[in-house]
Amino acid sequence: MSAVLPRDTLPPVIAPGETNASISATISDATLRRPTGWLWLGGFGLSVLLCALLSVGTVWLLYAGVGIFGLNIPVAWSFFIANYVWWIAIGMGGTFISAAMYLTRQGWRNSINRFAEAMTVFAVSVSGIFPILHLGRPWFFYWLFPYPDIMNLWPQWRSSLEWDFWAILAYLIVSILYWYIGMLPDLATLRDRAPNLLQARFYGLLSLGWRGEARHWMRLEKFNLITAGLAVTLVFSVHSMVALDFSEGLVPGWHETIFPPFFVAGALFSGFAMVLTLGIPLRRWFGFEAYLTERHIVNMAKMMLAAGLFVDYSYMSELFTAFYSRDRYDLAMTLHRVFGFYGWAFWGTVVLNVVQIQLLWIPRVRRSAGAVFVISLGVLIGMWLERFMLIVTSLYEDFLPSAWGLFWPTFWDICFLIGSIGLFFFMFLLFTRLLPVLSMFELRKLAHKLHPATASAPSDVEAAS
């Protein structure tokens, strides 16, 4: 019992003594006045290089076709689909934090939701390039859209791949709008605090003239509330459709009813891991310890552990079902998955997604930002391995032994994986320089609620003058 730290030893969600003035100053100055550091420049340079690699890969893909990848029959899906599922899943975590935890009134989510939503927007944007470039003839991707054309061509509405198109389309647009409309008041703060005319005009245009009028707030809050409700539905439906891409097929290892909830749990798991992977360095580099406290890390770690346990349950259920069903193909696939050529992917997934996260049961581990950061990185890698394992080990040895074959990634497979990480960080690093990284108005509201006596105290500058 002595190892269990009482909850009260954690710092409050916002450090006491934080005022409207200090919240506005700290967070907006991180965007407006903070000099660009070498660390940022180095990271940005690296991400630009990776984006260049991605561009070269895309041009080569458009010229040469999908033959540049290691794909073949029987393994016709591999890295690209794994990347796609991985990225869109990461996005889900951000929406869940900002929407579901808004509905459940979790005050601590106010420090996280802005950059989590930014992460969602960027991850979904990155994920969208994979299914399109994987089409074989990507320039016809708009055939997925029902438009009146002289070919009398309509989409195949019964296909889960078509559902997926609508799901990504809706998810991308909704997450961008939810993010942007929620950012208007903070863009107005940046406009009003801008040190020069150029910045004032930039943020002035972006903020659309937001003035913080009472009736405007009322509409914004109502919109945020209803959209949060819809966004939760969207998280579950979009990732269920990603799962249906697989379970609608008849391949052993894919054709499972557990897939939609299993994928949603995996999405939240990797999304929380990415939020921690981004939040822990952000907190340190921008000096946001007053807003992203130890409590936030502990809470997020608990959420990640909970989502991870759902995922682990699904792994066990999959294995159990194979043996319980006694279906010879399902059994063979399961044995190949666990002990076959790609067994390392299975065992790697087990180590990263099942074993190492159990460390989060220990309060001391949860309270250590470094340990949580390392575990989250492990979860991100583990979730990519899991997608690779699910996709490739279901395909490479299917019904007919004469058709069995192995998959080997080519340089271009790896180029698109690394390049997509570069593209994500390119966008995220720009975000940290150009836009408000934490939600100032929601933090002000929270400070007013938690510390009503001090939240409106005059700023230090005024007290000194």
Partner 1 sequence: MTARLYGLLAEFAEAEQLRAAVLRAREEGGYVAIEAYSPFPIEGMDAAMGQRRTWLPFWMLVGAIGGGSFTYWLEWFSAVANYPINVGGRPTFSWPAFIPPAVEMTILWAVLLGVAAVLLGSWLPRVHHPLFASRAFERASSDRFFLLVRSYDPNFDAQGTQAFLESLSPLSVTEVAEE
* Closest distance to partner 1 from the beta carbon of 24 (Å): 4
Query: Among the candidate windows 66-74, 318-326, 401-409, 456-464, which touches partner 1 by CB under 8 A?
Result: 456-464
Q: Which is nearer to partner 1, 291 or 407 (CB)?
A: 291
What is the DSSP track for 278-304? HHHHHHHHHT-TTTS-HHHHHHHHHHH
- One residue of 150, 214, 463, 464 binding partner 1 per CB under 8 A: 214
Query: Among the candidate windows 115-123, 201-209, 298-306, 367-375, which touches partner 1 by CB under 8 A?
Result: 201-209
Interface with partner 1, residue 101, by CB under 8 A: no
Q: Which is nearer to partner 1, 89 or 440 (CB)?
A: 440
Is residue 136 a contact partner of residue 65, using CB atoms and an 8 Å limit?
Answer: yes
Query: Among the candidate windows 121-129, 153-161, 333-341, 369-377, which touches partner 1 by CB under 8 A?
Result: 153-161
CA atoms within 13 Å, Cβ hemisphere of 294: 13
In one letter, which amino acid is 175? S
- Per DSSP, 11 falls in state P
Alpha-carbon span 440 to 436, nearest angstrom: 8
Is residue 124 a contact partner of residue 171, using CB atoms and an 8 Å limit?
Answer: yes
Interface with partner 1, residue 25, by CB under 8 A: yes
Interface with partner 1, residue 188, by CB under 8 A: yes
- One residue of 44, 141, 202, 223 binding partner 1 per CB under 8 A: 223
Q: Which tokens is 136 given? A: 């074989």
* Cα distances (angstroms) measured from residue 88 to each of 10, 47, 184, 188: 33, 20, 25, 30
Cis amide prior to 281 (ω within 30 degrees): no
* Closest distance to partner 1 from the beta carbon of 392 (Å): 27
- One residue of 14, 19, 278, 299 binding partner 1 per CB under 8 A: 19
Interface with partner 1, residue 105, by CB under 8 A: no
Q: Is 83 exposed, middle or buried (0-12, 13-18, 19+ CB in 10 A)?
A: buried
Is residue 245 a contact partner of residue 160, using CB atoms and an 8 Å limit?
Answer: yes
Query: Among the candidate windows 175-183, 255-263, 294-302, 339-347, which touches partner 1 by CB under 8 A?
Result: 175-183
- Binders of partner 1 among 404-433, rule CB under 8 A? none
Interface with partner 1, residue 241, by CB under 8 A: yes
- One residue of 44, 70, 192, 249 binding partner 1 per CB under 8 A: 192
Interface with partner 1, residue 236, by CB under 8 A: no
* Closest distance to partner 1 from the beta carbon of 185 (Å): 7
Interface with partner 1, residue 220, by CB under 8 A: yes
Which residues, 6 or more positions from 436, have their beta carbon under 8 angstroms from its beta carbon? 27, 28, 31, 114, 183, 186, 187, 189, 190
Query: Among the candidate windows 9-17, 52-60, 191-199, 327-335, which touches partner 1 by CB under 8 A?
Result: 191-199
Query: Among the candidate windows 57-65, 86-94, 178-186, 407-415, which touches partner 1 by CB under 8 A?
Result: 178-186
Q: Over the range 98-124, which residues count as b (16 or more CB within 10 Å of their CB) and which as e?
A: bbbbbeeebbbbbbbbbbbbbbbbbbb
Q: Which tokens is 456 given? A: 């409106």
Interface with partner 1, residue 145, by CB under 8 A: no
Interface with partner 1, residue 173, by CB under 8 A: yes
- Per DSSP, 237 falls in state H
Alpha-carbon span 164 to 124, nearest angstrom: 13
* # of chain residues touching partner 1 (CB under 8 A): 68
In one letter, which amino acid is 52? A
Alpha helix (H) residue ranges in 326-356: 328-339, 343-349
Interface with partner 1, residue 221, by CB under 8 A: yes
Contact positions vs partner 1 (CB under 8 A): 19-21, 24-25, 28, 146, 152, 154-158, 160, 162-163, 166-167, 169-171, 173-174, 177-178, 181, 185, 188-189, 191-193, 204-205, 208-223, 226-227, 230-231, 233-234, 237-238, 241, 440-442, 444-445, 448, 456, 458-459
